[in-house]
Amino acid sequence: MSAPHATPVRVAVLGGSGFIGRVLGSRLTELGHDVLSVARKEPAEPAPGRFVAFDLSSAAPAELTELLTREQVGLVVNAAGGMWGLTDEQMHVANVVLVDRLVEAIAGMARPARLVHLGTVHEYGMAPVGTSQSEDGPAAPVMEYGKLKLAATEAVTRAVLEHGLDAVTLRLGNVVGAGQPGHSLLGVMAAKLDEARLAGRTAELSLAPLTAQRDFVDLTDTVDAVLAAATATGLPPVLNIGTGSATSARELVELLIEVSEVPTAITEVPGPDGAGPETEWQQLDIGAARERLGWAPRRSMRDAVESLWQAQISPAAR
């Protein structure tokens, strides 16, 4: 991998109005970078830096090349994509077509920008209980989203190995923090707890066993990893970013209830047959990120959940 631009004139954050992109853009701005937030449509709450409305999934690569060149972009972080509420075809466009066009657009620049692409732990699929998934291990996604994100990562990796693209994919664990998407499990639970808090009543939650074990990672730690990857040299094409340990979703929901201090009545709902930690285990090996980025997670899941809850109850969340 070639050396990155030492001081990018401008950083383009694709998906700059989203969960990760917005926090990343704010951090980059605080660090003195000139940030260009790019998304399909302008958000209700202003995105960090200067916003540009650009439909990455439908525009021709040459149009994006022209935009990146005109704006003198030296670093692109791809935090765009889509999963919730989309058909398989829409997910394909949002996650695969977009990345194919992005890679072609960057390659078309006279001075190609560095690319940090955000992948997902779901590209690996499940693993035997107690094992960790490493970058050189098998990738066998079981859900359509994971399959599409894997195809996108493979496109970026091919461009690195075959054409010398200055890029790295960060395979992220399940990110938790302020601004948690409302359609996610923790986002739904936080909204229900907040509604009960405002009404002065007991929250009533129906919960399945939620025994699946996942590698959850704090949002702030995730952004730190992206910033480290933006300037590090000699990186492999793919790096895992997580905590290196598995936690059940039920534990996180119970932690959220505890942090919220909202009286809660839980109704237990039977889980689907065949569900459980024996068939739903993910734990990332983050040794390469420690070694190559000098990065390690610093915040606990309690920190992450507390940030989520404080953002939920803030006036801006109304």
CATH code assigned at 49: 3.40.50.720
Q: Are 277 and 212 in contact (CB under 8 A)?
A: yes
Q: Is 192 contained in some domain?
A: no
- The answer as to whether 197 is a domain residue is no
Q: Is residue 117 part of a domain?
A: yes
198 falls within a domain: no
Total of domains in the chain: 1
What is the pLDDT tens value at each position of the chain, 318 positions in all? Answer: 333 444 556 999 999 999 999 999 999 999 999 999 999 988 888 899 999 999 988 899 999 999 999 999 999 999 998 776 678 888 899 899 999 999 999 999 999 999 999 999 999 999 999 999 999 999 999 889 999 999 999 999 999 999 999 999 999 999 999 999 998 999 999 999 999 999 999 999 988 877 889 999 999 999 999 999 999 999 999 999 999 999 998 899 999 999 999 999 998 887 665 444 445 899 999 999 999 999 999 999 999 999 999 999 987 655
Q: What positions carry a catalytic annotation?
A: 145
Residue 93 falls inside a structural domain: yes
- Is 201 inside a domain boundary? no
- Domain membership flag for residue 278: no
Residue 266 lies in a domain: no
pTM over 0.85: yes
Backbone angles phi, psi at 264, to 5 degrees: -135, 135
The domain of 101 spans 10-176+216-245+283-298
